[in-house]
Amino acid sequence: MLTLWRNARIATCDEQSRVFERGAVLVRDGVIEWVGAEAELPAGLRPDRAVELAGRWLTPGLIDCHTHLVFAGQRATEFARRTAGTSYADIAREGGGILSTVRATRAATEDELVEQSRPRLVSLLAEGVTTVEIKSGYGLELESEVRMLRAARRLAAEHPVTVSTSLLAAHALPPEFAGRADEYIEVVSREWLPALRASCDAVDAYCEDIAFSAAQCGRLFGAARALGLPVRLHAEQLSNVGGSQVAARHGAFSCDHLEYATDADAAALARAGTVAVMLPVAFYVLAEQRLPPIEAFRRHGVPLAVASDCNPGSAPGASLLLAMNMARRLFGLTSEEVLLGVTRHAARALGLASRRGSVAAGHAADFAAWSIDSLDELGYWTGFNPCSMVVKDGSIVLERNV
């Protein structure tokens, strides 16, 4: 089956960031065969089907490379306390925060997790998202972590989306291990990782003064890599305890948050080829003041991604478009940086860059079409979604009147 997508303005987000003002894409069996100016279409083609895009902008399907989308319950009461002045870290130290969602998630069945998480996924998909990373990390016991990962893969099977899962057992110290963080890391490394190897695509951890130390994350990463699992890290969100350096040393796919990262951290990430994932919704919701060192990332050539961080604590909601807007307004990213941050660089953060994240020959035909006049409108609208069509592996999976 050969489909011609024609009369589109195309932002390929490929290595050269090519743009075609009157472009076309040829897709065979869900895979892009050719992209270019319509005037240069190979001669003698006989497509089985042609889709007329009437001058609409076409981008790669968006990639949300950092979410905690599967969880039970909500933490609105904590939000009320935080807006009244109590800090996220203080609530965490009292046993609230992540541990409060752990209690709700442990009590939920797999079906309940799927049904509670589905609307959040659906909300992302309506924004042109075709690939989503989903973490565990609210189970913190083997069976509950497995249940979260299964719920994530079930959502993937039931919706037109590629899901990449990360095991985030090192998100917080479970109450059963209070005061025994080293032991917990040891159990996760020695017992859980081998058992869960096939249930996840990567291993993540939370490196922070209120969570795990750089040394603990380093030991976990050593075990993960010995099993062939790639790693990513939450680091330098509220403090700098050396997370970026550990991530870089282990060749992490990504290092995420990074408000407290230094110039030396940026240099290390650049050398390691690690993507820096910006999570401006968490920055906004926690009313943080310290900005990530964007200038240093640019100077050292660190690829930047942008993600929603969808979670019940620091980023309640499920909008990548909002994260894009905040990355521009709060972090000063350009519209080009933000677009690459939710396409090519986000694919790289998930280790999927050879197949997704660009409109390029050999890539899956994941597209989003937009009712916009200019690419600058991506990350411009707040609380408004200009996505008019979503294409997953060559099939139209959503059309919206906008």
Q: Which of Fe ion, ligand NIG, none binds 346 (CB below 5-8 Å, type-dependent)?
A: none
Closest separation between CB of residue 114 and Fe ion, Å? 20
Q: Which is nearer to ligand NIG, 123 or 388 (CB)?
A: 123
Q: Which is nearer to ligand NIG, 53 or 238 (CB)?
A: 238
Closest separation between CB of residue 188 and Fe ion, Å? 17
**Measured between alpha carbons, how far is 393 from 354 in angstroms, rounded to an integer?**
15
Q: Which is nearer to Fe ion, 151 or 277 (CB)?
A: 277
For residue 42, the tally of other CB atoms under 10 A from its CB is: 9
Span between the terminal Cα atoms of the chain, in Å:
29
- Contacting residues toward Fe ion, per CB under 5 A: 309
Residue among 162, 154, 101 nearest 133 (CA): 162
Q: Which is nearer to ligand NIG, 285 or 372 (CB)?
A: 285
Q: Which of Fe ion, ligand NIG, none binds 314 (CB below 5-8 Å, type-dependent)?
A: ligand NIG
Closest separation between CB of residue 66 and Fe ion, Å? 6
Closest separation between CB of residue 261 and Fe ion, Å? 15
Q: Which is nearer to Fe ion, 137 or 394 (CB)?
A: 137
- Contacting residues toward ligand NIG, per CB under 6 A: 68, 97-98, 101, 206, 234, 237, 282, 309, 311-314
Q: Which is nearer to ligand NIG, 253 or 367 (CB)?
A: 253
Closest separation between CB of residue 204 and ligand NIG, Å? 9
Q: Which of Fe ion, ligand NIG, none binds 380 (CB below 5-8 Å, type-dependent)?
A: none
Q: Which is nearer to Fe ion, 32 or 238 (CB)?
A: 238
Closest separation between CB of residue 247 and ligand NIG, Å? 14
Q: Which of Fe ion, ligand NIG, none binds 237 (CB below 5-8 Å, type-dependent)?
A: ligand NIG
Closest separation between CB of residue 98 and ligand NIG, Å? 5
Which residues have a Cβ under 8 Å from the Cβ of 195 and sit 6 or more positions away? 142
Name the residue whose CB lies closest to Fe ion. 309
Name the residue whose CB lies closest to ligand NIG. 313
φ, ψ at 327 (rounded to 5°): -60, -35
Q: Which of Fe ion, ligand NIG, none binds 358 (CB below 5-8 Å, type-dependent)?
A: none
